[in-house]
A and B are shown apart, each in its own frame.
Chain A
Amino acid sequence: MTDDDIILKAENLYFSYDDEKTHSLRGLSLEIRRGRRIAFMGANGSGKSTFFLCCNGVNRPSSGTVYFEGEPVDYSRKGLLKLRRNVGIVFQDPDNQLFSASVFQEISFGILNLGVSEEDAAREVEDVIRRLEITPFRDKPTHALSGGQKKQVAIADILVMHPKIIILDEPGAALDPKHTAIVNHIIEQLSEEGITVLLSTHDVNYALEWADEVVLLKDGKLLAHGAPGEVFSDQEALALTNLEQPAVLQLFNSLCAKQILDRSLPLPRNLAQLEQYIADIHS
């Protein structure tokens, strides 16, 4: 692996919202590789959102450095513009992100800020409206949209800017199963396009199935970082972050302990895979 593969790097980040006494980030170091899907997990207040805001320069760490594509972040206007066009954040509560009552206006905001001409911007906005299936409600005012529809618009807001990294802060929060599925499908498309996706979630089963890497945070520090199977097998780290081991792994481990399944099998990522293992016993 060359250094080029590292798109974003945090080095010993400290960040405090109010004073020097209480830090939301306390020496966080992390490397993020291009094109990966990374799930951030940890209790509320463990520093996930704070770290995300550091990634695109909205929060400036009190000490430590953020590197984007190998270069330390430049906090001048120009430097921030460059960083933010590449690192987009979809905020947890769309109501904190959508500032306009018109869906079309809302989505066009980010791309116009990049200095794109109005014709090109209009084309991009139309394109993203079609891709994210916003067309059925594009003419509604944002205050009349459902939570899931607002989320779709919030993702479109960012996607239209063609960032290299998209960060989603708890994308599944407060969504019904149908809209969770829609949002997950969109996230799937993002990674297929080669965009590096960072998302925070409390859903261990989703993280196990979706992520290439899982990052566990606790009290503003990195607790564990690795492949999902590896991190979710670390009982000690899980206990520290009050996370349950994914049900699939629990069942797999107990089946292994009872010598029904072979421990040399690769860890299952989802129920279907585990089901297949069990089905294979008889054949």
Chain B
Amino acid sequence: MLTIDKFSYLSKLRYINAAEKFSFAVITLILCVVSRSVCAAAITLFAAGFLTVYKGKIPLFRYLRYLAVPVVFLLFSTLAVFVNISRTPLDLFAVPVGSFYLTGSRAAAAEGIRLILTALAGVSCLYFLAFNTPMPDILNVLLKLHCPKLLIELMLLIYRFIFLLLDIASALSCAQASRLGNKDFRTSCRSFGSLLAVLLVLAMKRSNALYDAMESRCYDGTIRVLNETYPPRAGEIAAIIGFELLLAAAWLLEVYML
């Protein structure tokens, strides 16, 4: 997660208008999930990967590793679709086990592949957004979409505090380790417990100090900030519309061909 955050600030697509990136990711995601089209999913998977790796200059290896995380999960969860236990063998394959068969049908296999592709395409859309758009920019888009302000303020503070608390936690655990705080499993557990306790106290202290600092800058209960936005470009918007139309066409074609 921290790697993704780092890349999002380094991405070459960072200064593309965030609303464009957001709508590209979300519309494509919706199209993929609604259509369940293998074609559309394959196109999306390729396009999102191309944009993130080639245009955004995110290292290919890192990107594939992140994409592999859901693959493992998907393979396990589609196992049930691929493999049936039945008394009669199905058309794709059948392995006799006693009086039963571990068996699968062609239709089920096609359905499984379709599921995996659709899910991966969806994930790649979100990765595209996450790898190329810093969090404050995403929040800004949500604000424009009239997401509740309170929610956005909370996300803004939580996002900032994740890094603060992680810093403190790593400093604490380093200090514990240097005093043999993890010499065996029991001590490790105890150390981890006290780390959490201290972290809670420190988080409270920090939030009080932060509140004082905000108050001394005339904070009155609403966080008002300016956002830097990068202007949308007609060419990019046209490209997004074109891409979504292509997806829709691929979907329709698939429906009529089969």
Contacts and interface: CB of A to CB of B under 8 A. Distances in A.
Contacts of B214: 99, 109
B234 interface: no
A58 B212 contact: yes
Interface stretch (A1-9, A90-98, A237-245): A90-98
B217 A125 contact: no
Contact of A122 (B206, B216, B223, B226): B226
Interface residues of A, number: 42
Contact of B225 (A81, A89, A108): A108
Given A81-B218, A84-B217, A143-B160, A101 B210 contact: no
Contact of B227 (A77, A98, A104, A157): A104
B220 interface: yes
A56 B216 CA distance: 7
Contact of A96 (B9, B213, B217, B220): B213
Contacts of A276: none
Given A93-B209, A122-B226, A100 B156 contact: yes
Interface stretch (A63-71, A111-119, A190-198): A111-119
Interface string B172-206: 00000000000000000000000000000000001
A148 B226 CA distance: 24
B227 A99 contact: no
A99 B9 CA distance: 18
A77 B163 CA distance: 33
Contact of A102 (B136, B164, B209, B213): B136
Contacts of A125: 226
Contacts of A187: none
B236 interface: no
Nearest to A53: B212
Contacts of B227: 102, 104-105
B6 to A, nearest CB: 8
Contact of A97 (B136, B213, B218): B213
Interface in A109-150: 109-110, 112-114, 118, 121-122, 125, 139-144
Contact of A101 (B159, B212, B217): B159
Contact of B218 (A114, A118, A121, A143): A114
15 contacts: A58-B212, A81-B218, A84-B215, A93-B209, A96-B210, A100-B136, A100-B156, A101-B136, A104-B226, A108-B225, A109-B219, A140-B9, A143-B163, A143-B164, A158-B217
Interface of B: 5-6, 9, 134-136, 156-157, 159-160, 163-164, 167, 206, 209-210, 212-220, 223-228
